[in-house]
Structure 1
Amino acid sequence: MLLFVSVCLVLCWAAAEARPNIIIILADDLGWNDVGFHGMNQIPTPNIDALAYSGIILQNYYVNSMCTPSRAALMTGKYPIHTGMQHSAIRASEPWGLPLSEKLLPQFLKELGYKTHLVGKWHLGHYKKAYLPMNRGFDTHLGTYGPKIDLYDHTNMDLGTWGFDFWRGFEHADDLFGQYATDIYTEEAIKVVKAHNKSEPLFLMVSHSAMHSGNPSEYLRAPDEVIDRFQYINDTQRRKYAGMLAKLDESVGMVVKSLQEYGLLENSIILFSTDNGGAARCDHNVASNHPLKGVKNTLWEGGVRGAALLWSPVIKYPSRVANQTFHLVDWLPTLYSAAGGNISVFENIDGFNSWEALINDLPSQRTKIVHNIDDVYGSAAITVDNWKLLKGTNFQGRRDDWFGPTARDGAYNIDTIYNSSSAEAIGKIAKMPTKDNITRLKEESTIKCNDSIPITPCDLLKAPCLYDIMVDPCEKQNLASGKPEVLQALLLELDKVNKTAVPPLKIKPVPEADPKHWGRLVTTFGEANTSLSIVKLK
């Protein structure tokens, strides 16, 4: 009996000490209003919604406004102004990347015994081999190095040239040519889950290429039979966007289902997030950030407020809208803490450990967000408590408006959520919320502009603008003239933060990066003697 009790205690202790599997599913350029749980009825996202309603919806969740800065923030726990990643994204032909002096999330997790896998997009530098994912903490990588690809032929067109960008580790994955990228990522993620040794914790990051636009020949691509499901959408581009989104949602469901089938889901944390706001009216993209103002690569809410959810059986109060203020930089300490790590290992990061706040519905430590400071563009934004200041703008103000379809007409079919792969998997280890609860959660997380708030002009080319973001998330009423003391306080705070910024690392494209010199591959063009299995063409 004593032996039995001792064994039980040891097993219970081991189970309590088991580190959770961490799965990050990152969408690219997904709009705030492109998920059903934020009010969109036009394109069903049942698998994503099932996770949201049975987990927590991150309502006051912020990202950076572009791909590279956001990914850098996620990986380092630092604002891009503190890593030199604050100005624009890395083009395939530019010789720079996230500094090698930065230690990244997968490297920290490896020290806790995690097996680490990246499936999909990297976009943090590839001009030298040292910058590649498998030299930055990932055990495996299948996917792209650069900013965007055609979802079928996996080419990237950069400044008038083109090259193939699809890699398995350090080798070009030419055998996958012609296969739809979202399907490739899904199959690879399931393969990783199936092969994983359950005695070790798993970190799997599925970094999708959708919903990013591809090449000018056809910006948005999905299988014809999927696009054909959306004949009721009149706009051709939005119909293609719907096909891409349907495949992304399907992928989420298949990955969640595989986690359950192979016994990993009951000890998993799943984060689903966009990397930045939707790219409405950029590169012929038709994302919807409705009713938020602005788009990708702007500092309006539409560019920096992200659609996201967190799901895990350890969330003590699931099926709720989490109103804690959270920024992308918080994931490094938050997930490390969830994994049982001691966050004292982090030095000079901007992120807060919000794990207990999220799972126990406690107040957030975060009261300030530095959205970005870009002295090249001359744009900056900061939020302190309920006040948001914008100073300067990008694109001469052409994107300082409300864009994209509302996508809120039509019926919302809750039955599709219960019939989804995600709900099927979740239902085997926990209860899905009732229809009434789903309706309530959808209503709570759908932002509606206050019609009683007047639109007060804001011209960022002439003067800073100020908003009470809690009352006015749609950024309609510029209060700069009516709240001069608040305006001045935020300008001083912004100036104080800017003194801590490092110079941007952005480097212009170089001719030697042209894929025509490298067998038409987007590759490590900065290596003096590349060890990759490619031939430099004369």
Structure 2
Amino acid sequence: MMTLRHIIILIICCTAAFCEKSEKPNIIIIVADDLGFNDVSFHGSLEIPTPNIDSLCYNGVILNRMYTAPLCSPSRASLITGKNSIKLGKIIMIVSLPFQFTPYINTGMQHYVIPSDEPWALPLNEKLISNYFQDAGYRTALIGKWHLGFYKQQFTPNFRGFSDFFGYLGPYIGYYDHSLIMLDRNYSRGYDMRRNTEPENRTGTYATDLFTNEAVDLITNHDSDTPLFMLLTHLAPHTGNEDRPMEAPEETIVKFSYIKEEKRRTLAAMVSKLDEGIGKVVKAVQDKGILNNTVILFMSDNGGPSFGIHSTESSNYPLRGQKGGVWEGACRVPACIYSPLIQSNRRISNEFMHITDILPTMASIANISITDKSLDGINQWKTISEMKPTERNEILYQIESVLGFSGLMINGWKLVNGSENLNFSGWLGGSGDYMETSFEEYINMIEQSIAFKSLPKMESEIIKELMKKASTMCNKNTPVTKCDPKSSPCLFNIIDDPCEMNNLAESYPEKVDFLLAGLKRYSEVMLPSIRKFSDPLCDPKNFNNTWNWWRKDDANYDLVPDVRDSINMKIILCIIGLSFILTGCFVLFEMMKRKEQARLRNTEKSNWKQMTSGSN
């Protein structure tokens, strides 16, 4: 019979379970592709207004020193693993008889991106952010770009911890036809859009709108009793196919007729559609009634490309360099985080943060324990929420062993060693300061934005102050000194000289040596590039003109840690056991051989004595 005491205990337990369930925050990470430091208006330029992004950032914390890897695949790999791309890979133990173990390192994600025709991918021995959140009871969704390899199905999102996937597997697609054509390869044009594992034809819908609508629908129809982890990785504003790289609705392009350069005018329209989409996502979260228990992070995956391959005439002003290198313009990106869970909102954080910090930080917010102790990222939640000083004093920009350049910052001192292309080592992209838009006009755009109407109201004076603080300016009194990193390393104090104008290598040779030693330290744990070149079997014509995985899964290749380790251990133990058996047999054989030799010697001695005694 249930007593009153039993009923009270039951109520307490149910209440505790409900509270525990409801307290898990929803996590939404929105990643723009190739968005330059000066392609958003919260950094001070009104050439391309981004009122929705700005509203989100002003209400939260602008992460003014957020760093990434310089290219897409390495950056995304670091985001979802919490590790520097130079360390991502698997270690195979080769066992030599009888007991010699040799570590053989055979993969690495740091060199280049993953084209759709190349058979390599983020190794399966890495536990991803999606795995952690899925194990913690979250619904895990990826909408948009994957670009971490798909030559085997086991490398695709649904097999990497994402319960929901809608998007494309390769580096980019056409904004309207959702296909990928590789003009430098003799392959067919292939469609690349799918829901989970099956292609889904959504041709004709602008890709940014498509991913926005998918995210809004998922949020709207989501069961609020289950916490949500969503990674929304937009195509925008990356270029599409080489035969039609810049695409945006014409009615959006005409809004930016004041921009003279045609390519940058189209870029502005692409960014505007991205901004509009982010506003719709924020509104969907508010309409769902879950905003108070949601964390929204916005960032770019790397700096913008002003010139060269996939150029959009993006601007990283006033930072030096562009996507692909180790200058600030390649790796310092626009970023912010918003949540009512943050204790100190509406401010600028100038603390150093790195893309590897996202996994441990988001896991901390969700009270998820990280089992992998080899992470490079650190938990930055107290720095974000409580304004605590960061524990991060070091940024590894990249070690590009194939092309021969690297970059490292420790305590504000940065070394640039080598260069990917000296033509892209200057200050690229315009400032946008020709704009005559008044601050009042800007405030009006902010107040009319979807995101602003969905977030707590904010006074214009606060916006003005935050915009001023978020604007990075070069010191006009800083001398511009010669820097040729291909000849000798260059040294900068990026706290005082964020625009990398004054090369201090000759003045502080001991700091150069210290940072070179730091790069050597990283090089000692760096894995060689895993990159493998084009495989003709990938051709979309073999798969109904669709990009698809083209090799069969291998049960013993790149397995998830527990399975892989179990198989590896069994193999190692078998080899060890075999070595023991063979060694034992060898020893036994030697013992028997020596025993037989001793018997024969004794027999010979006995016979000799008998022969000798007989002759006497």
Matched position secondary structure for 1:210: coil
Instruction: Find the partner of 1:284 among 299, 311, 318.
Output: 311
Structure 2 CA distance, aligned partners of 1:11 and 1:193?
Answer: 26
What SS does structure 2 have at the residue aligned with 1:44? coil
2: CA distance between counterparts of 1:171 and 1:112?
27
Aligned match of 1:255: 281
Matching of residue 213 in structure 1 with residue 239 in structure 2? yes
Cα RMSD over matched residues? 1.9
* Stretch moving more, 462-471 or 12-21: 12-21
Q: Deviations over 1:149-186 (max 9, x none)?
A: 11011111223343211111111112x01211011101
Amino acid across the alignment from 2:452: A
| Alpha-carbon distance in structure 2 between the residues aligned to 1:410 and 1:470 | 30
Q: Secondary structure at the match of 1:23?
A: strand
1:467 equivalent to 2:496? Answer no
Structure 1 residue 13 displacement after superposition: 7.9
Structure 2: how far apart are the matches of 1:13 and 1:524? 42
The answer to whether 1:448 aligns with 2:473 is: yes
Indicate the residue corresponding to 1:401 in structure 2. 426
CA shift at 1:23, angstroms? Answer: 0.3
Match of 1:178 in 2: 204
Contact 1:319 / 1:433 at 8 angstroms: preserved in 2? no
- Report if aligned partners of 2:153, 2:553 keep a CA contact under 8 Å in 1: no
TM-score, reference length from structure 1: 0.94
Inter-partner Cα distance in structure 1 for 2:11 and 2:446: 42
Does residue 1:88 correspond to 2:86, yes or no?
Answer: no
Q: Report which stretch shifted further, 79-88 or 214-223.
A: 214-223
Deviations 1:480-506 (A, max 9, x none): 111101111111111111101111111
Out of 418, 441, 450, which is 1:421 matched to? 450
- Are the aligned partners of 2:152 and 2:553 in contact in 1 as well (CA < 8 Å)? no
Paired letter, 2:259: I
Which residue number in structure 2 is paired with residue 495 of structure 1?
A: 520
Q: Please point out which of 60, 63, 76 is paired with 1:55.
A: 60
Give the Cα separation in 1 of the matches to 2:458 and 2:405. Answer: 43
Stretch moving more, 296-305 or 256-265: 256-265
CA contact (8 A) 1:133 1:141 kept: yes
- Whether 2:349 is the aligned partner of 1:325: answer no
Change (3 A) 1:10 1:434: farther
- How does 1:345-356 map onto structure 2 within 5 Å? 345-356=371-382
Match of 2:77 in 1: 72
For the residues of structure 2 that align with 1:122 and 1:216, how far apart are their CA atoms? Answer: 20
**Offset of 1:101 from its aligned partner?**
0.6
1-structure distance, mates of 2:291, 2:337: 13
Distance 1:32 1:15 in 2: 41
- From 34, 41, 52, give the equivalent of 1:36: 41
CA contact (8 A) 1:119 1:188 kept: yes
Residue in 2 that maps onto 1:239: 265
Query: In the TM superposition, what whole-angstrom CA distance separates every residue of 1:32-75 from its partner, at most 9, and x where no partner exists?
Result: 11111111201110100000000000011101111100100000
Q: Which runs of 4+ in 1 moved over 4 A?
A: 1-14
What do the CA deviations read for 1:360-387 (whole angstroms, capped 9, x no partner)?
Answer: 1100010111111111011110000110
CA distance in 2, matches of 1:511, 1:13: 54
Q: From 186, 194, 198, give the equivalent of 2:220.
A: 194
Per-residue deviation, residues 2-51 of structure 1 (Å, max 9, x unmatched): 99999699758844661100001110000011111111201110100000
* Deviation, structure 1 residue 218: 2.0
Q: Could you say what secondary structure the match of 1:90 adopts?
A: coil
| Whole-Å separation in 2 of the counterparts to 1:458 and 1:16 | 56
**Matches of 2:20 and 2:164 in 1, distance apart?**
28
Instruction: Tell me the secondary structure at the aligned position of residue 527 of structure 2.
Output: coil
CA drift of 1:418 comes to 1.8
Q: Please say if residues 87 and 376 of structure 1, whose CA atoms lie closer than 8 Å, have aligned partners that are also in contact.
A: yes
Determine if contact 1:100/1:131 at 8 Å carries over to the other structure: yes
- Correspondence for 2:585: none
- The answer to which structure has the higher helix fraction is 2
User: Which of structures 1 and 2 has the bigger CA Rg?
Assistant: 2
SS in 2 for 1:398: helix
Structure-2 residue corresponding to 1:146: 170
Distance 1:526-1:54 versus aligned 2 partners, 3 A rule: same
CA distance in 1, matches of 2:14, 2:351: 37
How far apart, CA to CA, are the structure 2 residues paired with 1:262 and 1:447?
Answer: 36
2:290 counterpart (238, 249, 264): 264
- Runs of 5+ unmatched residues, structure 2: 89-107, 555-616
Look up the match of 1:335.
Answer: 362
- Are the counterparts in 2 of residues 272 and 310 from structure 1 also a CA contact under 8 Å? yes
| Superimposed CA distance per residue, residues 91-129 of structure 1 (whole angstroms, 9 cap, x where no aligned partner) | 010000000111100110011110011110000011100
Query: Residue type of the partner of 1:338?
Result: I
* Counterpart Cα distance in 2 of 1:492 and 1:113: 43
The residue identity in structure 2 corresponding to 1:433 is M
Q: AA paired with 2:195? A: R
CA–CA separation in structure 2 for the residues paired with 1:414 and 1:7? 50
**Alignment-derived partner of residue 402 in structure 2:** 376
One-letter amino acid of the structure 2 residue matched with residue 211 of structure 1: P
Equivalent AA in structure 1 for residue 448 of structure 2: N
Provide the C-alpha distance between the structure 2 equivalents of 1:197 and 1:459, rounded to a whole number of angstroms: 56
CA distance in 2, matches of 1:370, 1:217: 35
Q: Percent identity?
A: 38
Q: 1:135 and 2:159 equivalent?
A: yes
For the residue of structure 2 that corresponds to 1:245, the secondary structure is helix
**Structure 1 CA distance for aligned equivalents of residues 241 and 430 of structure 2:** 23
Whether the aligned pair in 1 keeps the contact of 2:40 and 2:50 (CA below 8 Å) is yes
CA offsets 1:75-97 (integer angstroms, 9 cap, x no match): 00000000111001000100000
- Identify the residue that residue 126 of structure 1 maps to in structure 2: 150
* 2:549 aligned residue (505, 524, 527): 524
Structure 1: runs of 5 or more not aligned: 530-538
* Aligned residue type for 1:368: E
Report what 2:124 is aligned to.
100
Shift of 1:410: 2.7
Q: Which residue of 2 aligns with 1:361?
A: 387
How far apart, in 1, do the equivalents of 2:17 and 2:487 lie? 62
CA distance in 1, matches of 2:553, 2:221: 36
Q: Which of 212, 234, 253 does residue 227 from structure 1 map onto?
A: 253
SS at match of 2:333: coil
Q: Which residue of 2 aligns with 1:300?
A: 327
Q: Which is further off, 209-218 or 292-301?
A: 209-218
- SS at 2:528's partner residue? coil
Counterpart amino acid of residue 316 in structure 2: N
> Residues of 2 paired with 1:355 and 1:8: CA distance?
31
Summarize deviations over 1:380-414 as a string: whole Å, max 9, x none: 1000011000111113x221111112123332411
Tell me the distance in 1 between the aligned counterparts of 2:454 and 2:326: 37
Please state whether the residue corresponding to 1:272 is helix, strand or coil. strand
Q: Relative to structure 2, which stretch is displaced further, 12-21 or 292-301? A: 12-21
Change (3 A) 1:5 1:233: farther
How far did 1:464 drift? 0.7
Give the structure-2-normalised TM-score.
Answer: 0.82
